Structures are given as structure tokens and as C-alpha cells.
Structure 1
Amino acid sequence: MQFKMISLAGALALALAGTASAQEQIVRIGSVAPTTGSDSHMGKDNENGTRLAVEDINAKGLVIDGKKIKLQLLAEDDAADPRQATNAATKLVDARVSAVIGHLNSGTTIPASRIYANAGIPQLSPSATNPKYTQQKFKTTFRLVANDAQLGGTLGQYAVKTMGGKTFAIIDDRTAYGQGVADQFAKAVKAAGGQIVATQYTNNKATDFNAILTSIKSRKPDIIFFGGMDAVGGPMIRQMRQLGINAKFMGGDGICTGSLPGLAGTALGDDQVVCAEAGGVPEERRKAVDDFRAKYKKRFGIDVVYTAAYAYDATFTVVDAMKRANSTDPAKYLPELTKSNYPGVTGTIAFDEHGDIKDGLLTLYTYRNGKRELLTVTK
């Protein structure tokens, strides 16, 4: 009899658990970034930012339309490859995610965006800067950072007017991001009165730059600008020093990472590199970002590498729109997403009619004693 009573009690417990489970709705959030390959440290940073947001939201408890919601992260690796990116996008659409945070690179974000748009799924990129992403006029595309026109333009103006550069060499890795930011930098340099004396190209997996750097050396530029990522930029800086090239080195947010000192080594030097991050933290938000960085390190055991805070804010912005729409259905909460005014870690998240961040800031940095140092925050 005792055995039967225990069995009945167990059955009752299972039934209650089943009822609670039935009342809990699983809402899937997709995250796509390169978690293998040379950009994997950046891609994992994006994924970690999204994961931390999902965990924080679940820990606080989320109720929408009277239902307890549990967010579930579905993370995909696109290896910074456009074809793999579209495969990952298709997989997430088939899994019926309610939103996608990603991709990392412009070259993967842009082709994947059409797949999400066709499915009506909002896509918020924490890092893709090529203007084409939001120029496609998809209603589902959103960007949390300034674009290449702002990034390259600001760097070009700064290079001539503040750094005093007169002659410039430009190298890009032929990706959508690298070429885009390099082109915008060149336009701004010319507009400010600077002269482009050399233009060279590489790829995002290259390790040997002696031929192009030797060609550039003979032109004696004041500044070399590289459009690409830190995994290529770091070794390029090493080889510049080996060849005795003393020009300043500049780049966009792709090189502007905490990983660059390790990749460039002692060749980095003090005040030799100037870069800009497509995003900025006004003074009043500095403590919030510092607190986020501390929370991130406690959770993952490593420092923030790149744009984790923007991925974190993107996830919270999506959930905020769901709350205001009282629905997790993309078709119902998308109109609210376009009206976002969310107070995030990085600042207020609000979008213009194209899906670009409003009043996007840029942060310029240099490196001293192997550490990234703030120069200025600007628009």
C-alpha cells in the first residue's frame, strides 16, 4: 500500500510539473556569428552577449499575454562565410525563432537579411556596419551601431585634421566590411585635402603582406589605413615594423579590439595605432558599461572582446518590443520594435526609418603600453 501511495504522489507531482510546463512558453532567439575561424573570438563575444541577456531575462522572469515565457538561445556558426551564413539563417527560420541577433560581419549579415525578411523575422545586428544592410529597405533589418559612412568618414577627417596626415596608403581585405569602410575613409581623406598615394588589397585569411607593404614603403605614406579585422591587422602591423615602415596605422572597429595587442605584439607601439569603434558610450553611461564588463567576465571568465554589450542590448530591445506588443509573434511585435526607445547599457536604443541606430556615436582609441586607450567619443 505504501508503494502505491508513493506512486500516486509521484504521479501527482509529475502531473503538476506537466501543467506548469504546459503553461510555460518557449520563445527561441537566434544568434549567428563566426565561432570558428580567424574571427571566432569576436563571434563568440557576440554570442556571449546574447546568451548573457537571455539568462538575465529568464532569471528575472518574463510574462507576456498572461503566459510565462522562457527564452531559448539557438546559436549558429557562420564562419564569416556568406554561404554558411545563409544556411544558418535558413536553419533558424525553420526552427521558428522569434528574432535573430547577428550576424557579426557585413558580408554575412547582408545575404542572410533577405532570408529573415522573407520570413518576417526581425534581425538586429550588433556590429555589421556596411550601409547596404539597411539600404535594402527590408522592414526587418536593424543596426545597433553607426555605419561605415559615419565610421570611415570620421576616421578620414580625424586623420587629416587632427593627426596631420598628408599622404595615405589604403589596404582592404575585399570583404563587404573591409572594402566599405576603406572606401569611406578614402572619400573623407580626399575631401579634407589628403592624398591617397597607394591602394592595395588582401583577403581576410592572409598572413603574408610583404609584397604589398614593400610596394607601399616606397611611397612613404604618413598613415596606412586597413579595412579588415584584427586577425589580419595584427600580423600586418608586425610586418610593417619588420620592414621598417614607421607610418601610423589606422582602421575601423574590426581592428579596434582588446585582442589587437596580442596579435601585433611589441610592434604595436604607443600611439602608433588609431582606430574607431562603431558605437560610443557617453560619460553618463560609462558606469553601466563597466558594470556590464564586470558581469560578463564573472560569467564567462574572459574580458569583453568586441560588441557583446550591443548584442546584450539588442536582445533586451527585442523583449521590450514584445512586452509593449503583448506578443512574441514577430508580425505583431515588429511594429513596436520600430518605435523602440529602450534605455540600454550602451545608451538609448532607437531606430530611424531605415532601421539604423539614431544618433549613433563613434569612439576613437589608440593603444598605449599594450592597452586600448580612449581618445574621444564623437558623432
Structure 2
Amino acid sequence: MDSFLRPLAAASMIVAGALASTAPASAQQAPIKIGIPTSVQLQVGRDTQNAAKLAIEEINAKGGLLGRKLEMVVADETENPEQGIAAIKKLTADDKVNVLIGGYTSGVTLAQLPHISNAKTIYIGVGAASPAITAKVKTDYENYKYIFRAFPINAAHQARALVDFINGKLKGEMGLKKIAIVGENAKWVQDLVPILKKGATDGGTDVTLAEFFDTSTSDFSPLFAKVKNSGAQYLIVVLSHASSDIFVKQWHDAQVPIPIGGIDVKSQDADFFTRVSGKANAETVGMFAIRAPLTPKTIPFWDEFVKRFGTAPVYTGIGAYDAVYVYADAVKRANSIEPDAVIKELEKTDHVGIAGKLVFDEVHDVKTGPGLQNLLFVQWQKDGARVVVWPKEAATGPMIAPPWMSN
């Protein structure tokens, strides 16, 4: 190189270096990864992904988080503990996600807990309801401080809401004093039913039958016969993994002379009424949100979700959307993605979400109560309309009897 060109070349290198050093930090930093372990083959899993995607896109459109974009990584945990553990290991060890948001089956989530703890990765549950999931936060905080539940309210809280429905609506308003309780044989139901039975009995309602059935049951006629013979005036159902479609179709086709209601997770699906050819008419379903002004965010979120994905969200979608924002808010306050710093901020969460205000208790479980997240009882009615029938202050219409009992 000629001697008079050397200074120019050196100057060019200095300018290039200066430009590189002043490049935006967001262009140099890796994205913050949101790991989504869920049952991807189910509606709860699809809605978890879609709602998380919606929240992530909204945050990224506003500049991301700490100057970094958010990125979603999904792993299928199915409904099997071994697959659930594999999903956590993939997300934490292989994908190196910064937070985990998801879950559905309590048994799977419980199996995953030690692996989440070992990975020292924050986990915000949005699907599984067993109180045992967050119990270890109290007994072994240092190892299980990473565990939070943003949605739904736990099974014990759900049981108390059901007790209020039984004693307030069924007994108090309708004069029904005898109920039967049937639930699938799953961990969250085992946690719920004893509380439910005691609460109903203490409130003056006679529980004529309380029975579990296998999640693979395909013929419910013997169970319906037991319920009828027990003298029950109303059947409380508690199921999530068993076939709601078969259960409701058989109840309708046999014209069982007893109304049904309770917690039926798959009956929360927006297409459930159509899926069972209208045979869900008069079934009452516990739901955590519906298109109603529960908070200023409920209807805008609901309408955008339907517009984007063609269906109303089930509860895991509501929880996933809120959980992404709750995590993002904590990261902003901490000005860090370091788990211990974020955990301290998550513990201070006071977030207006889709179903109510989201606040964590001392074991990182979402609180319930006035202004917080609660269980609504919504009845399927003619042409697939969904009508809130309890609590009284939230009701949008009267409760109806099954068509064959209406005369």
C-alpha cells in the first residue's frame, strides 16, 4: 500500500469500529426466551401458545424488554409425566429459556417440579390446579422459590367457589337440598372433592353420593343410574381429562332427570356446544372469564384473540397472556433477567389482568376474592349462548332446566 493511503485506511478502520460500538444494544443481544411447556394437541395447549404469542408480539412492538426482543419456544409435555419432564429438560438445558410459562395436568406439573428447581428457572403455571404444586415454596423456599401459579385459582379455591354455588344458588335460590358429586380420578380432583363435600354438608346440603371414575371411562350409564338412585336433585361434575363430550352426550341422550354443572374443563371450549350437537344445553360450567367487563382488559383481549385465532380463549390462554405480562413487568422493575432479582419483583406483583387483579400469596399462588380472580358459573343455553348464572352480582340471565325437565 502506498504510504499516503495508509492514514486513510487507518482512519476508515477507526470509523468502522466506532460505528460498530455505537450500534443499538438490541441488535447485539440475544432474545429473551419464553419457554412454553404445554399439551400442544389439546385446545388448552393451542390457546396457551396463541395467547403467549399475542402478548409477546405486543411487547415486541413496543420495543421489547430491556432492549431485547422476546421469543417463544414450545415443547409438548402431553399429559404424561415422563414427557413432561423431557419437555422441561429440553427447554431449560437445550433451548436455555429464561422463563417457563404453561402446564395443564397437575400430575405432570408435580413431576416436573424437581427438574425446574434444578434448572433454577422461573416457572409460571397457567393450567394445573393442585395446591400441592406451590406447597413446597413454603416448606423449601430456597429450592422451590422459582414456582408460581398465575392461573387458574387452585383446586381448594375452586372447591370453595363451588360450595358457594351449591349453597347460594342451588339450595338458597332454587331450594335443591340433595346433590351428588362425581369426579375423575385425578390429583386435582382428589384435592377438591373432600373440601367440596364438607362445605356443602356444613351448609345444609345433603351429599347423597360422592364418587370418582377412571379418566378412560366411555360408558357413564352405570354412574348416572347410581346418581338417580341416590335421590340427588343436582349432579356436580368435576372433570378435565376425561371425555366431556361423551359424558354430556350420554347425559342428554338418556334424558337423565337431573341437571348437571360444576367444573368441566373441555366444556369451556368455545366450540363445545357445536361439538356435542347442542346436547350441552343447560349444563352449567365453572369458568374463569367470559366476554364481559370483568376488567378494562377483558373485552379488548377477548375480541383480539377471536379476531386473530378464530375462537374464544379457554382458561389457559387467559392465564398465558397475563403471565407473559407479569413476567415482563417483573423484569422491568428488576432491570434484569437474573432469576433471584426477578423472583423478588414477581412476589410484589399487583397486575390488572383479563379475569381480575393478579396478586401472589406467600406460596406464590394466585389469590382469589373480590376484585381478584374468581370462578364464574356459566350455563350453555339455546343456540350455544353462554349465560352467567352465578355469582348473583355477575349474572347475565336466569338459569334454565334441561329441555326434558322443562315441562
In the TM superposition, residue 28 of structure 1 has moved relative to its aligned partner by 0.9
Supply the distance in 1 between the matched residues of 2:216 and 2:103 (Cα, whole angstroms).
Answer: 19
Task: Answer yes or no: is the 8 Å Cα contact 1:276–1:362 preserved in 2.
Answer: yes
1:54 paired with 2:60, answer no
Once residues 211 and 343 of structure 1 are traced to their aligned partners in structure 2, the CA distance between those partners, rounded to angstroms, is 45
1:129-148 pair list within 5 angstroms: 129-137=129-137, 138-144=144-150, 145-148=152-155
The structure 2 residue matched to 1:320, chosen from 317, 320, 329, is 329
Q: TM-score, normalised by structure 1?
A: 0.85
| Residues in 2 aligned to 1:176 and 1:321: alpha-carbon distance in whole angstroms | 31
Structure 1 pair 280/113, CA: closer, same or farther in 2 (3 Å)? Answer: farther
- The answer to whether structure 1 residue 347 and structure 2 residue 356 are counterparts is yes
From 225, 238, 241, give the equivalent of 1:214.
Answer: 225
Instruction: Give CA deviations for 1:9-48 in whole Å, capped at 9, x if unaligned.
Output: xxx9xx97xx667513211111122112xxx012211121
SS at match of 2:297: helix
Identity score, percent = 25
- Do structure 1's residue 374 and structure 2's residue 398 form an aligned pair? no
TM, length-normalised to structure 2? 0.80
Closer, same or farther in 2 for the Cα pair 1:363/1:201, shift >3 Å?
A: same
Q: Which moved more, 1:324-333 or 1:19-28?
A: 19-28
The one-character-per-residue Cα deviations of 1:87-133 (angstroms, maximum 9, x if unpaired) are 11121121221111110222222222232123221111123221111
Q: List per-residue Cα deviations over 1:295-349 (Å, max 9, x = no partner).
A: 1122223322333122101001101111111111223211111111223333332
- 1:241 pairs, out of 226, 237, 252, with 252
* Matched residue, 1:30: 35
CA deviation after TM superposition for structure 1 residue 284, in Å: 5.7
Please give the alpha-carbon distance, in whole angstroms, between the structure 1 residues aligned to 2:241 and 2:381.
17
- Asked whether the 8 Å contact 1:363–1:376 carries over to 2, the reply is yes
* 1:206–1:42 CA distance, 2 compared to 1 (3 A): farther
Q: 1:230 to 1:160 in 2, by over 3 A?
A: farther
1:356 deviates by 1.5
Q: Aligned partners of 1:63, 1:194: CA distance in 2, in Å?
A: 52
Point out the more displaced range, 276-285 or 362-371. Answer: 276-285
Cα gap change, 1:325 to 1:101, in 2 (>3 Å): same
SS in 2 for 1:251: strand
Q: Give the secondary structure class of the aligned counterpart of 2:30.
A: strand
Give how far 1:81 is off: 1.8
Structure of larger gyration radius? 2
Partner of 2:84: 85
Deviates more, 1:231-240 or 1:259-268: 259-268
Residue 294 of structure 2 contacts residue 354 of structure 2 at CA under 8 Å; is this kept in 1?
A: no
2:349–2:358: 8 Å Cα contact kept in structure 1? Answer: yes
The CA distance in 1 between the partners of 2:350 and 2:218, in whole Å, is: 43
Amino acid across the alignment from 1:291: P
Task: Compute the displacement of 1:63 (Å).
Answer: 4.5
Query: 2:132 matched to 1:119?
Result: no
Q: Is the 8 A contact 2:234 2:260 kept in 1?
A: yes
Question: Counterpart in 2 of 1:97?
Answer: 97
Distance 1:275 1:328, change over 3 A: same
* Offset, 1:282: 8.4
